[in-house]
Amino acid sequence: MSGAASDFEAVRAAAEAAARNAYGRLLAYLAATTRNIAAAEDALGDAFASALATWPASGIPDKPEAWLLVAAKRRFLDGVRHARVRNAAEPTLALMEDDIADKADFPDARLKLMFVCAHPAIDEAARTPLMLQTVLGLDAARIASAFLTAPAAMSQRLVRAKTYIKDAGIAFEVPDAAGLGPRR
Amino acid sequence: MSKSAGAARLYGMRSGNFAPLCLKDKVMEYAILFYETAEADAARNHPEKSAAYWGAWGAYVTAIMESGISKGGQGLQSPGTATSVRLRGGKRQVQDGPVADAKEQLAGFFIIDVPDLDTALAWAARSPAAVDAAVEVRPVLPPMP
C-alpha cells in the first residue's frame, strides 16, 4: 500500500513540477494557436488530470511538457468535434491538426498572450487578473482575494473577458509601435 | 477533477468554450457601424458646413473602397427619415423615427474583411464618425446554412 502511495506522490510531484515550469508556456501556445483561452485552459487542465491518472502506471515521461501538449491538443480537438456536432450553424472551419504542434520545443507565446490580456478594449479590471491567471496559472479565488474582490465576481469578469477575446478577434501578436502605447 | 470535467463535457457545459472555433489565420468579417450626433447630421445640408462634412466622408469612403476590404456598405439618410415597425399581438405598430431613442444615431455602415479586431478598429477610428460620435465594430455571423 505504501509503495503505491509513494508512487503516486512521485507522479504528483512530477506533474506539479511540470505545471510550475510549463503551465504558462503551454497555455500561451495553445491559446495563441486556437485564439481560445478558455478552451485551451480546459484542454490543458484535462491533460494534467490525465497525467495524474496515467503516469503512475506508465511512468513519468522523459519530456513531460511534450506529453502534456499532445494530451491537451487531443482534448482540444475532441472538444472541437463535440462542439461542431452541437452547433451545426457554426462556421465550417477545419482545425488543421498540424496547426497545433506536439513537439517539446513549441514556441513561447507568453508575451503575445500578455499583450492580448492588456488590450485596451478589455475591461480594465480584468486585464491584470487575466495575466495572472493565464501566464502565471494562479487560480481565480487567489486572484480575487489579491484584488479584494468576491471570487464569483472575479470569475465572471475573467469568463467575460476570455469570451470577448475569442469573439472579437483580437490577434495573438506583439503589437507594433502604435499598438504598444495604449497597453502600457 | 477529471470526473467532473468528463461529466461537464458529457452534458455539454463546457462545449460552449469551443464555439465558434478560432484559428490563427482565420478570416474575419466585421460590420463597422457609424453613429452620428444631431449636429453632424445637421451639417449634411448646412451651407457652410456641408463641404467639410461630405469632403471628410468622401475621402474616407474612397480609402475604404481602394483598400479592397469592403464587402459592401451604405450611407443612410438622416434619422428623421426613418420609420420603425413592430409586430405586437399580430398587429403592426408603425412610428416615425428610428428604433433607438438616443443622441447618437446610425448613419451608415460597411462590412469589411480584415484579419483581426485591431485592423478593423484602425479603419473605424479613421472615419469622421469616430471624431463626432462613435463607431461600433462587431463580427458578423457566418452565412446561414
Question: ipTM score of the complex?
Answer: 0.76
Question: Would you call B28 and A169 a contact, using CB atoms and an 8 Å cutoff?
Answer: yes
Chain A CB contacts of B12 below 8 Å: 82, 86
Whether the pLDDT of residue A89 is over 50: the answer is: no
> Considering the entire predicted model, what is its pTM?
0.81
| Cell numbers found for residue B71 | 464587402
Give the mean pLDDT of A56-68.
Answer: 88
Question: Would you call B20 and A169 a contact, using CB atoms and an 8 Å cutoff?
Answer: no
Residues B16 and A39 sit within 8 Å (Cβ to Cβ): no
Q: Which long-range CB contacts under 8 A does A128-137 form with residues at least 24 apart? A: A129/A154, A129/A157, A129/A158, A130/A158, A130/A161, A130/A162, A133/A158, A134/A24, A134/A27, A134/A28, A134/A31, A134/A37, A134/A41, A135/A24, A135/A27, A135/A28, A135/A110, A136/A24, A137/A19, A137/A23, A137/A24, A137/A27
Task: Name the stretches of chain B with pLDDT < 50.
Answer: 1-16, 19-25
Q: A93-148, pLDDT tens digit by residue?
A: 444 555 666 677 888 999 999 999 999 999 999 999 999 999 998 988 999 999 99
Whether the pLDDT of residue A178 is over 80: the answer is: no
Q: Give the three-class secondary structure for B86.
A: strand
More confident residue, A178 or B106: B106
pLDDT at A9: 84
d(CA A144, CA B86): 45
pLDDT at A38: 95
More confident residue, A79 or B136: B136
| Cell numbers found for residue A23 | 503551465
Residues B133 and B35 sit within 8 Å (Cβ to Cβ): yes
CB contact A35 to B (< 8 Å)? yes
